[in-house]
Structure formats: structure tokens, C-alpha cells
């Protein structure tokens, strides 16, 4: 919460936990959205993990590669995703997730974000 009429700097805590990240003055690290008033209640629903995913060569997700190299956030489209992500395939419909690792997994259900709740893309 920011008090009404506040005029001064805001600070973000940035804590890279998987990839080393290079930043410079002016590098955009996060998107900040400020809204006034009570936020609308969002619909909640359960989303499962698809460990039987047959598309894309049986890949069910990706694990972030630790110490994979430096990500330069000012270098748009300048990195090969394979240098940073290891593809995962389930064994017998199971996948063991290790503590402290970063995963992106395919969802079993399709997810649709209503237009009025989606983030706007800015150049």
C-alpha cells in the first residue's frame, strides 16, 4: 500500500534465484501497476499438471538450468532458451520435483484470462 499523495522513490527487492542477471541503469526488471480503490474479486479455479502430455515430444515442462550463464535483460531475443531450460519428460506419469529448483509445467486444463484482467503489453 502506498499512502495517498506520496511523492518519493519506490524500491523493489530483486532476488534472482535461478539465473544470473545483468542489469544496467534503466533496465526494466518488473512491471508495476498502481490502482486506486478496492480490487475486483478474481475468479479462482484449480489447474492441474499434465504429465501425460503427448505433444512436443512428450515434454511436460522445463526446469531452469542453474548457473546457465548470464541473462542480459537489455538483449531482447538475444538468448537461446535451450541454454537456460532443460526439457522434462514424465516417467510412468510421474515427475519428481526437487526442492530449490525452478519449474515451468504444462497445465492439464486450458486457461483463459478475461481481457479486462489481462496485463497490457507495452513496447
pLDDT digits (tens, 9 = 90+) for 8-27: 998 878 888 888 889 899 88
| Whole-angstrom distance, CA of residue 35 vs CA of residue 41 | 14
Give the number of residues written for the chain.
123
Contact 105, 59 (CB under 8 A): no
Say if pTM beats, i.e. exceeds, 0.85: no
Q: How confident is the model at residue 123 (pLDDT cuts 50, 70, 90)?
A: low
Categorize the per-residue pLDDT at 82 as very low, low, confident or very high, splitting at 50, 70 and 90: very high
Q: What's the confidence (pLDDT) of residue 103?
A: 95
- pLDDT exceeds 70 at position 119: no
pLDDT in tens, 36-81: 778 777 778 888 888 875 555 688 999 999 878 898 988 888 899 9
103 in Cβ contact with 88 (< 8 Å): yes
* Spatial separation of the C-alpha atoms in residues 82 and 106, rounded to whole Å: 17
Amino acid at each position: 500500500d502506498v499512502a495517498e499523495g506520496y511523492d518519493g522513490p519506490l524500491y523493489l527487492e530483486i532476488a534472482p534465484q535461478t539465473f544470473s542477471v545483468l542489469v544496467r541503469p534503466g533496465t526494466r526488471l518488473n512491471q508495476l501497476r498502481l490502482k486506486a480503490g478496492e480490487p475486483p474479486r478474481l475468479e479462482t479455479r484449480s489447474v492441474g499438471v499434465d504429465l501425460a502430455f503427448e505433444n512436443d515430444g512428450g515434454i511436460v515442462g522445463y526446469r531452469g538450468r542453474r548457473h546457465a550463464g548470464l541473462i542480459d535483460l537489455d538483449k531482447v531475443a538475444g538468448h537461446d532458451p535451450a541454454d537456460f531450460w532443460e526439457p522434462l519428460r514424465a516417467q510412468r506419469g510421474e515427475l519428481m520435483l526437487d526442492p530449490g529448483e525452478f519449474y515451468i509445467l504444462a497445465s492439464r486444463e486450458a486457461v483463459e484470462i478475461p481481457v479486462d484482467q489481462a496485463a497490457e503489453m507495452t513496447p
